[in-house]
Amino acid sequence: MSLAVELKREEEEKEKRMEWWRRAKFGMFIHWGLYSIPAGVWKDKRIPGIGEWIMYRAKIPVKEYEKLTELFNPVKFNAEEWVKIAKEAGMKYMVITAKHHDGFCLFNTRYTDYNVVKATPFGRDPLKELSSVCRKEGMKLGFYYSHVLDWHHPDGMGNDWDYDPAKKDFVRYFRDYVEPQVEELLTNYAPVALLWFDIGNRLPYPELARELRDLVRNLSPDTIINGRIGHGMGDYIEMGDNKIPEHKLEGDWEVPMTLNDTWGYKSYDHNWKTPGRVIQILVEVVSKGGNLLLNVGPTAEGEIPKPAVDVLKEVGKWLKVNGESIYGASASPIEVPTDALYMCTAKPGKLFIHVIAWPWYGELKVYDIPEKVRRAYLLATGDELSFTQEGTHLKIKAPRDPPDNIDTVVVLELD
C-alpha cells in the first residue's frame, strides 16, 4: 500500500471512530479507588490537594497504603444505578479509573494481585459489571489508565519514597505490565469505547507512546485514544484539568472538569458547582467546539455523592428540553461579543442562541448573523418570537418570562 493510500485509510477510520464522540458532547468521568476510603484524611490529618493524590501527598509507604484493600468493600455499588444517573444527566459516555496513579486495579488482572477481585473483601469486578450494564443500556464506556505514574509498581514512575528512582526500569514496567494490562482491558471488557491515558507529557520515550497506540489500534480499531497518551498519539486533544480554552478551537478536544474541587472523593469538599454553573460550562465548551467530561467521585461505600446526583439531575432536566442545541452541535459560527448576554451553538441552517442573562427590558440583541433569519422561536416551547433584522444585526422581542432562568435557548432558522 502506498503511503498516501494508507494515510487516507487511517483518516477514514478515524472519522468513523470519532463519530459517536463528536455527537456525544457530554460524558461522565468517575474517579474511584482505594483513595475513596481515606477521602482526604490520613492519620487524622486533612491532606491538602486532590483526593486521589493522597498517597503521594502524604508520602504513604506502599505497605501501609496497600492495607486499604482490606477495607475496600463498597457494598452499595450498583452499576445499574450509576449508568442511570449518567443517563438522566444527559451524559452519553462514561470513563472510569481502571488504574489510577496509586496503582490499584479496579479490574481483575493476571498481572498483579493488587486488584479489586483478588485483594479486597468486596471480591467483585466493578468494571465487568459496568461494562455489561453499559452494553445493555447503549452507554459508551471508557477506561482511565495511568500508564506513566504508578506509585505501587517498583518500576513505575512517581514513587521515590519507597523506591530508588535510579534502580527503576521504566521500559520494563511499560512493556511487561502496562501493555499487557491494556490488552486485558481491551479483550476482557470489550467493547471499550475510549482509553483515557494521563500525564503522557511525562512519558520519556515517544516510541512507547507509539507502541501503545499501535497495540490499541490492532486489538480494537474502534477504541478512541485521548490526547494524554502523549507524543501526539491520541485521537483528540485533552485540555488541562478544568481549563476551558479562551477561544473557539478547531479539531476534537475535551475538557475534564471536577464537580467540586477534587476528582477522587473527599469527605469535606462541599464546593459543588450549581446546576446553572454546569449548564453554562457545558454550553461554553460546546460553543467553542469541544466535549465536557464531568467528574464524580463515588464514596468508599460505592455511591455517587448525593449532592452530585442532585446537580446532575437538574442538568439532565435542562438537557431533556434543550438537548437539540447541544448533541451533535458545532461551535459558534458567529462572533459573540465578550460582554454579550448569550452564547451560541449551531447546526446546519440553525443557530442556537443560549441566553444566560435574560433581557428583562424586553429586547434581545444578537450580532454578526451571517444570513437572513427566517424564523425565531423558543426551543423549550416552540413559541414564535418576532424580530427585526438590519444586516447582520438582529433585535428580538423578548417575552417577559423566559422558560428557563439558567439558559433559555432561542432558535434562529437561517435562509
Q: Which residues bind ligand GLC (CB under 6 A)?
A: 31, 50, 52-53, 198-199, 241, 256, 263
Instruction: Report the residue number, 48 or 337, with the smaller CB distance to ligand GLC.
Output: 48
Instruction: Report the residue number, 21 or 53, with the smaller CB distance to ligand GLC.
Output: 53
**Cβ of residue 62: shortest distance to ligand GLC, in angstroms?**
18
C-alpha cell at 267: 469527605
**Cβ of residue 389: shortest distance to ligand GLC, in angstroms?**
43
CB hemisphere CA count around 134 (13 angstroms): 25
Instruction: Report the residue number, 199 or 373, with the smaller CB distance to ligand GLC.
Output: 199
Q: How many helices (H) and strands (E) does the chain have?
A: 11, 17
Distance CA 83, CA 68 (A): 26
By CB atoms closer than 10 A (0-12, 13-18, 19+), residue 329 is buried
**Cβ of residue 380: shortest distance to ligand GLC, in angstroms?**
33
C-beta atoms surrounding 92 within 10 Å:
22
Distance CA 92, CA 326 (A): 12
**Cβ of residue 272: shortest distance to ligand GLC, in angstroms?**
18
**Cβ of residue 63: shortest distance to ligand GLC, in angstroms?**
22
CA 93 → CA 22, 61, 80, 146, 308, distances in Å? 11, 35, 14, 19, 17
Distance CA 52, CA 61 (A): 15
**Cβ of residue 265: shortest distance to ligand GLC, in angstroms?**
13
By CB atoms closer than 10 A (0-12, 13-18, 19+), residue 215 is middle
Q: What residue spans of 31-74 are helical by DSSP H?
A: 54-57, 62-65
By CB atoms closer than 10 A (0-12, 13-18, 19+), residue 380 is middle
**Cβ of residue 144: shortest distance to ligand GLC, in angstroms?**
7
What is the chain's length? 415
Instruction: Report the residue number, 150 or 198, with the smaller CB distance to ligand GLC.
Output: 198
Instruction: Report the residue number, 238 or 407, with the smaller CB distance to ligand GLC.
Output: 238
Provide the β-strand partners of residue 141: 94
Q: Which residue is nearest to ligand GLC (CB)?
A: 256
Instruction: Report the residue number, 77 or 263, with the smaller CB distance to ligand GLC.
Output: 263
**Cβ of residue 241: shortest distance to ligand GLC, in angstroms?**
5
Instruction: Report the residue number, 52 or 150, with the smaller CB distance to ligand GLC.
Output: 52
Instruction: Report the residue number, 126 or 402, with the smaller CB distance to ligand GLC.
Output: 126
Q: Residues with Cβ < 8 Å from 265, sequence gap 6 or more?
A: 31, 32, 35, 36, 39, 40, 51, 297, 298, 299, 300, 305
Instruction: Report the residue number, 236 or 263, with the smaller CB distance to ligand GLC.
Output: 263
**Cβ of residue 242: shortest distance to ligand GLC, in angstroms?**
8
C-beta atoms surrounding 388 within 10 Å:
11
Structural contact between residues 251 and 234, judged by C-beta atoms closer than 8 angstroms: no
